[in-house]
Each structure stands twice: as structure tokens, then as C-alpha cells.
Copies of this chain bind each other. A is one copy, B any other.
Amino acid sequence: MKVTINDVAKHAGVSMKTVSRVINKEPSVRKKTYDLVMQAVEELNYQPNTAARNLAGTSSFAIGLVYDNPNAYYVIDMQNGVLSRCKEEGYELVIHPCCAQDPDMHKEIATMIQRSRLAGLVLTPPLSEQQDIIDMLDNLGVAYVRLLSGQSNASAPSESKNEEIKANNCIYVDDYAAAYEITEHLIKLGHKTIAFACGDAEHKSTTERLAGYQQALKDHDLTLNDDLIYEGTYSFESGVEGAKALLKNNNAHKITAILGGNDEIAAGALFASRLMNIAIPEQLSISGFEDSPFSRQTWPKLTTAHQANSVISEHAARLLFSKTRGSRKQDKDIITTFTPSVVVRESTGPAPV
């Protein structure tokens, strides 16, 4: 029932160490020996014991995914992307949802890392932006990859000493460019008064998206107006509130389009519009951000910026693996900057005359 590396070794007539070499794809094993061992592995249906490998080896065969995000779609996509890479590499994934607010956060993460001897960590926003966590990870000497809002050529966001390492452990999502693009889409539809319903102020993505929106307006000679900006959170409820606030006494501004910080906000705005008897997109255009499945399940379907979260997280995992253990093969196909692209659906249309 239980097959050990020793059994395989005997069966193949080699030493345990050689079997170990084969299953770890280490170099300097003769092809003939390799095949011999593999055959024995097959015949005995040998499964390497993860615990033993973790214990004996330098680092473990598990990585962690840390997140603090209420958005189920986002989290699932992140998990699946990382998971698919883990499967490929024969690693396990330890998921760790947590609360960014918690002051003991970095302790909790440290504990997890030490207990499980994690080989590395993938950090998603907003935790990837927290300096205390980054510092802690550097101190521990654990490999990690951060998912960040911005562009890779921007200055490395960490203040730490070993900068050359720092710059290479980030995956960027260019929210700025995407927001610019989606704002431009609205402008081209003739909209002149475009509101923006922000997500959480602490998130870098919020400032990036806002900046992209503002730059687009500027570039098209439209006036910026703080009254058109609603500061909320990345939630449906916030979208409802935001739209209500923005559209109340709309005579003054004549807002004809609302750009939601994400799909949930946009859906909330859609909901609020319904309550106020505003026709979408005839009277008001609304666009989301992220292209979660959610954006296809509203009525009308949301125009949004497609962000391939599972692909992004898969690349984050690739990048992480390229830094850990043997990092045998150099993975040169890693994309480090992603720019969401506009997906036009039914929630945006020409500005009303």
C-alpha cells in the first residue's frame, strides 16, 4: 500500500539517491538509468511523500497565496491561476485569506511561513502594497512576488537595500493605461461630463485608475471637476451610494457617464439608476473595470476593462518559481506587465443630445 523511495530503488537496482535525482529531475543522470527508475516508479505507483521531502530538503514544496479581497471572482481566479502552475511544478498551494487592517497581520503571515516552511509567497493587493509585510518577508529571506498596480518600468516601489532583487519580483497591472483607454472610449462616444466612482482609497489601483481617467479628460480638453469624483469602496453598495450621490441634482453637472472603479461598483450604479428611473445607456452610460463574470450578468451587460486575473496570477506563480529551489529552467516567457483592454458591451452608448 505504501511505496517508499527505497522500494523503488531496490526494484530498479539503484540507490535511493538516484531515484531521488530522477524524481527531482536533477541533471547528471544517464538516460538509461532515468528510464529504468521511471519504469519502476510507474510499476510500483510510487508517490513521493511531500512531508518527507519538505523536511529533508532545503525548502518545502508549497507556496502560499495571501489575499484580503472580498471579491469572490477575483480570489477564485487568482487561486486557479496559481494552482495551475503549482500542479505543473508539483507544488502545493496554501491559501491564506486575511485582513489587511489587522495590525498583527505580518506576524500571522510569518507564523504561517515558518510552520509550513513555504518556498515562496504570492501577494495580492492591497497586501502587496504594505511595507511592513514586505520588510518582514525580506527579513525572513522568503521568496515572494507582488501583484501591483502600475508599470514595471516605474521605479521599484520598495525602499529596501537590495534593489536589484526588488525590481524583479513584481507583476504589474497597468490600471492607469486601462482607465485612460476606457475614459477615452466614453469621450469618443461624445460624453463630456464623466463621473468616476472610486474604490478604496488605500488601494493603489484606485489612484492609478483615477489618474488615468483624469489624464484622458485633460488630453481631450475636458475640465476636471472634483464634484464628479465619488470616493467609495470596491463594493456593490458603494456603487449604489456613489451613483445616488453623483446623480442627485444632476441638473448642475449633467453627468452622462459614470466610470465605476470596478464591476461591482458599476453594477451598483446600474442598480441605483434603475431606482431613479434612468435608462442605461440611453440617458446614462456606465462602465465597469475588471471584466469579472459579474459584468456579463447585469442588465444591460457592462462595458468594462478586461483583466485576465487567472493569467496574471499564473505569471506571478511562474515568476515565483523562477526564484525558488533549483529554478532549473529559466522561464523567459513571463509577462510582468498586463494592461487590461476595453470590452464594449451594452452599458455604454452615445451621449444623449
Contact = CB atoms under 8 A, between A and B. Distances in A.
Interface in A211-250: 236
Interface string A105-146: 000000100111100000000000000000000000000000
Interface in A70-98: 72-73, 75-76, 79-80, 83, 92-95, 97
A55 B47 contact: no
- Copy count, this protein chain: 2
30 contacts: A47-B115, A48-B115, A49-B55, A49-B117, A50-B54, A50-B115, A50-B116, A51-B51, A51-B52, A51-B116, A51-B117, A52-B55, A55-B55, A72-B73, A72-B75, A72-B293, A79-B97, A80-B97, A83-B95, A92-B116, A93-B95, A95-B95, A236-B296, A267-B297, A270-B299, A271-B297, A275-B299, A294-B294, A294-B297, A299-B299
Interface of A: 47-52, 54-55, 60, 72-73, 75-76, 79-80, 83, 92-95, 97, 111, 114-117, 236, 264, 267-268, 270-271, 274-275, 293-294, 296-299
Given A50-B116, A51-B51, A51-B52, 12 more contacts: A50-B54, A54-B54, A55-B55, A72-B75, A72-B293, A79-B95, A83-B97, A93-B94, A236-B293, A274-B299, A275-B299, A299-B299
